[in-house]
Chains A and B, each alone.
Chain A
């Protein structure tokens, strides 16, 4: 809002108005600009920016014995990262979240890229394939998670029949029920659901590469792999970077899938606990532990720091080194 007030402070008829291309003659206070901007800025500020700032502020407060609630500086963060009660849970959730993210980077994005390259190879029926492969992405995470929970449920036996068909019946296990496999299984369900989105982004980048570039390489005798490796891949690097940062933000903010399939306790034995479920439990409480808004805000503050680090690394590290490609 401060920015809007500035407009009013500028003396009428100064350089401010010089820049207005359409109406040079207007010299009065630009009410219409304020009217156009106000609703969006108001809703956005009140329901997004203010809650975020107030949440960060709450993470700096806590109950002080004898004084009620007061300012404690970074004490909550220190408690979260080092105390016997909080630290193991926090680091467990953080580690699991890193695994969750790494699996997305190693499986989701390469598979998405491979699918995009295949769809781009002028194959018949590409639109049908694209539509079908994208379908899981339109479903709620709740539905996707629960559908897979049914499929993987040993009681139903669907997963055994399928594995047995491929001669891998020995591999059948209650994947979501075992501590060692639950997290990887959930990550792969998430990959299954979301792979369509990076696929479409890669496809958009591939479509924009002029045919002449690819054809020139082919004429020079390059095979498909070399065309991909030396022509297409370097040209779609900006999209690869965007997909990486989107994956990062999405993964460190994830919650629904774990909550829907494993509940807020993120079982078995917290083996699928990630930052989102940890935040939910801390804020609302669970079993005998009461909810704690200040520690909840602190967990959200840590998530904010993690996401911000990722975004800044992208903006200042990766994007700066990459040139804008103009065709």
Chain B
């Protein structure tokens, strides 16, 4: 009996104490979850209410009387949000595609072939993991304007690609080193070219590609700095920049501000609901070197 007791992990304190501790942990986590979600919910709920109701009962859900889309109407009149969404989508998808393509190629080379300078190349590509690209802004703006790319979506796509490459190559190289040799050797015996072998192993790297996509996506979608500096024109504004400008102009129109905030939160939240597992797993995997 004593032995059976001792092998059970949670024995210290007995049953009553365990129950109390569980309750305390739940209380703490619930309280923090409330804090985490409260401002977001407050913004979302109030964006559907009349101005009067926003101030009179900020905590109540919109009712038939207080429901009002005036904020969204102001938004539709004064800012071209569909275009901003399209811009953000093009930039994020374009940069993500390029990151995955060029980083998987580079990672394949670094993981598969032993050539002189392999380690040095890995280190060179890793500099950008720790040194933020933002510090080169002055040089970058000069470069982008001499390439005549200012106020184009290409400027953003290329800069976000460069920003994403270091971590992507690092994570993909780690993963590709662990892929089984046999498959590649068998393909070589069958006369496959080195390019064919890359295409052969790409599907095997799918989990790592998912990780990279998940951790690269949000910084690109949410970036304000480069959108503001490289492509601030009306035609090329991203959602985040468009929202920022709109918020600045309509600062006292509470309906409009709450509507703009809600509208920009939605895509991120939808993506998060779909990809939260990959994202969190990706962050966890990225931290284990």
Q: Are B222 and A141 in contact (CB under 8 A)?
A: yes
Inter-chain CA distance A40–B9, complex, in Å, is 50
Q: Knowing A6-B116, A58-B138 touch, does A22 contact B181 (C-beta < 8 A)? A: yes
Q: Are A200 and B280 in contact (CB under 8 A)?
A: yes
Residues of B within 8 Å of A303, CB to CB, are 135
Inter-chain CA distance A10–B116, complex, in Å, is 9
Q: Are B165 and A40 in contact (CB under 8 A)?
A: yes
Q: Are A30 and B113 in contact (CB under 8 A)?
A: yes
Give 1 or 0 for each of A232-270: 1 = CB within 8 Å of chain B CB.
000000010010010001000101100110010000000
Inter-chain CA distance A204–B281, complex, in Å, is 9
Give 1 or 0 for each of A143-182: 1 = CB within 8 Å of chain B CB.
1101110110000111001000000000000000000000
Q: Are A6 and B117 in contact (CB under 8 A)?
A: yes
Inter-chain CA distance A164–B148, complex, in Å, is 56
Q: Is B200's beta carbon under 8 Å from chain A?
A: no
Q: Closest CB-CB distance, A239 to chain B, in whole Å?
A: 6
Q: Knowing A129-B29, A133-B33 touch, does A43 contact B162 (C-beta < 8 A)? A: yes
Give 1 or 0 for each of B198-225: 1 = CB within 8 Å of chain A CB.
1000000000000000000010011011
Q: Is B71's beta carbon under 8 Å from chain A?
A: no
Inter-chain CA distance A256–B272, complex, in Å, is 21
Q: Knowing A3-B121, A142-B240 touch, does A308 contact B58 (C-beta < 8 A)? A: no
Inter-chain CA distance A32–B44, complex, in Å, is 52
Contact among A123, A138, A157, A311 with B218 in the assembled complex (CB-CB below 8 Å)? A138
Q: Closest CB-CB distance, B192 to chain A, in whole Å?
A: 11
Inter-chain CA distance A263–B22, complex, in Å, is 44
Contact among A16, A41, A114, A263 with B115 in the assembled complex (CB-CB below 8 Å)? A16
Residues of A within 8 Å of B283, CB to CB, are 197, 200-201, 204
Residues of A within 8 Å of B53, CB to CB, are none
Q: Closest CB-CB distance, A53 to chain B, in whole Å?
A: 7
> Which residues B120-172 have CB closer than 8 A to chain A?
120-121, 124-125, 127-128, 130-140, 142-143, 158-159, 161-163, 165-166, 169
Q: Are A218 and B162 in contact (CB under 8 A)?
A: no
Q: Knowing A134-B280, A205-B287 touch, does A115 contact B32 (C-beta < 8 A)? A: yes
Q: Is A184's beta carbon under 8 Å from chain B?
A: no
Contact among A41, A50, A297 with B138 in the assembled complex (CB-CB below 8 Å)? A297
Q: Are A256 and B131 in contact (CB under 8 A)?
A: no
Q: Closest CB-CB distance, A232 to chain B, in whole Å?
A: 14
> Which residues B51-110 have CB closer than 8 A to chain A?
54-55, 58, 98, 101-103, 105-106, 108-110
Q: Is A54's beta carbon under 8 Å from chain B?
A: yes
Tally of B interface residues using CB under 8 Å: 104
Q: Is B235's beta carbon under 8 Å from chain A?
A: no
Contact among B36, B109, B128, B188 with A135 in the assembled complex (CB-CB below 8 Å)? B36
Residues of A within 8 Å of B254, CB to CB, are 150, 156
Inter-chain CA distance A36–B256, complex, in Å, is 49
Q: Is A47's beta carbon under 8 Å from chain B?
A: yes
- At the interface, is chain A mostly helix, strand, loop or mixed? helix
Residues of B within 8 Å of A223, CB to CB, are 12-13
Q: Is A300's beta carbon under 8 Å from chain B?
A: yes
Contact among B29, B134, B166 with A253 in the assembled complex (CB-CB below 8 Å)? B134
CB-CB nearest in chain B for A115? B32
Q: Closest CB-CB distance, A98 to chain B, in whole Å?
A: 18
Q: Are A255 and B134 in contact (CB under 8 A)?
A: yes
Q: Is B257's beta carbon under 8 Å from chain A?
A: yes
Inter-chain CA distance A146–B39, complex, in Å, is 10
Q: Closest CB-CB distance, A28 to chain B, in whole Å?
A: 11
Q: Is A21's beta carbon under 8 Å from chain B?
A: yes
Q: Is B253's beta carbon under 8 Å from chain A?
A: no
Contact among A40, A55, A118, A138 with B102 in the assembled complex (CB-CB below 8 Å)? A40
Q: Are B136 and A48 in contact (CB under 8 A)?
A: yes
Q: Are A51 and B109 in contact (CB under 8 A)?
A: no
Residues of B within 8 Å of A16, CB to CB, are 115-116
Q: Knowing A43-B158, A43-B165 touch, does A192 contact B138 (C-beta < 8 A)? A: no
Q: Is B50's beta carbon under 8 Å from chain A?
A: no
Residues of A within 8 Å of B4, CB to CB, are none
CB-CB nearest in chain A for B37? A132
Q: Are B102 and A39 in contact (CB under 8 A)?
A: yes
Inter-chain CA distance A307–B131, complex, in Å, is 7
Q: Are A256 and B109 in contact (CB under 8 A)?
A: no
Q: Are B137 and A143 in contact (CB under 8 A)?
A: no
Q: Are A41 and B125 in contact (CB under 8 A)?
A: yes
Q: List 30 A-B contacts (CB under 8 A).
A: A3-B121, A21-B114, A22-B112, A37-B121, A43-B158, A43-B165, A44-B166, A47-B161, A51-B138, A55-B140, A57-B139, A123-B26, A129-B29, A130-B280, A131-B276, A136-B40, A138-B271, A139-B265, A140-B264, A142-B264, A148-B39, A150-B257, A156-B54, A156-B55, A156-B254, A196-B36, A204-B284, A204-B288, A249-B132, A256-B224
Q: Which 4 A-B residue pairs are closest in the complex by CB-CB distance?
A: A51-B139, A51-B136, A204-B284, A54-B139
Interface residues of chain B, those whose CB is within 8 Å of chain A, are: 6-7, 9-13, 21-22, 25-26, 28-30, 32-33, 35-37, 39-40, 42-43, 54-55, 58, 98, 101-103, 105-106, 108-110, 112-117, 120-121, 124-125, 127-128, 130-140, 142-143, 158-159, 161-163, 165-166, 169, 181, 184-185, 188, 193-195, 198, 218, 221-222, 224-225, 240, 243-244, 247-248, 254, 257-258, 261, 264-265, 268-269, 271-272, 276, 279-280, 283-285, 287-288
For the A-B complex with A132-B37, A192-B35 known, give 12 more contacts whose Cβ atoms are closer than 8 Å. Answer: A22-B113, A48-B163, A51-B133, A52-B135, A55-B136, A118-B29, A123-B22, A140-B264, A147-B40, A192-B36, A219-B7, A296-B137
